[in-house]
Amino acid sequence: MPLLRIPASLGIATSQAEPKPSLALKTIATRLPPAEIKAIEAAAQLAGQTCAEWMREAILLHLKRPARKKKSVPDATLLAEILGLRSLVQNLIAAASDLPEETVQRIVKHADAIKEGKAEEMLRRLEDVPTEAQ
């Protein structure tokens, strides 16, 4: 069977009729409700892209975003050691100083009040350090 060429008079060049070569190796699909499909179609049209192009770009942009902060459960052994050290330091301060117990309790409450903020600040600073410097 001979190859049919589309006449130029129909306004379609033969190069446009050929499929684009793709470097993609695998297709990943998902099912979406009609409202989400319409939203994706509208966004793709607004961007001048096909739905597939727009979704691929959106996925790749999402992958480049920093990971969301999730409350993670600390390792039980590590937490036990930290709490043990905290108790030890607290008892040593109380026993080795002439501070009244209420002053020691005030110091502990202050430490409790600032610990999460200080930890988050330290983690942010560590995240900002370039990988090769870590």
Give dist(CA 64, CA 61) in Å, integer.
5
Write down the pLDDT at residue 131.
Answer: 57
pLDDT of residue 66: 73
Instruction: Please state the pTM of the whole predicted model.
Output: 0.39
Q: What are phi and psi of 42, to 5 degrees?
A: -65, -45
Whole-angstrom distance, CA of residue 134 vs CA of residue 96: 38
Report the SS3 class of residue 94.
Answer: helix
pLDDT of residue 12: 47
Neighbours of 54 (CB within 10 A): 19
> Can you give the pLDDT of all 134 residues of the chain as single tens digits?
455 555 555 444 444 445 566 677 888 889 999 999 999 999 999 999 999 999 999 999 888 877 766 667 778 888 889 988 998 998 888 888 888 889 888 988 999 899 888 888 888 888 776 655 54
C-alpha 121/C-alpha 134 separation (Å) is 17
Report angle CA 24, 30, 31 to the nearest 5 degrees.
150
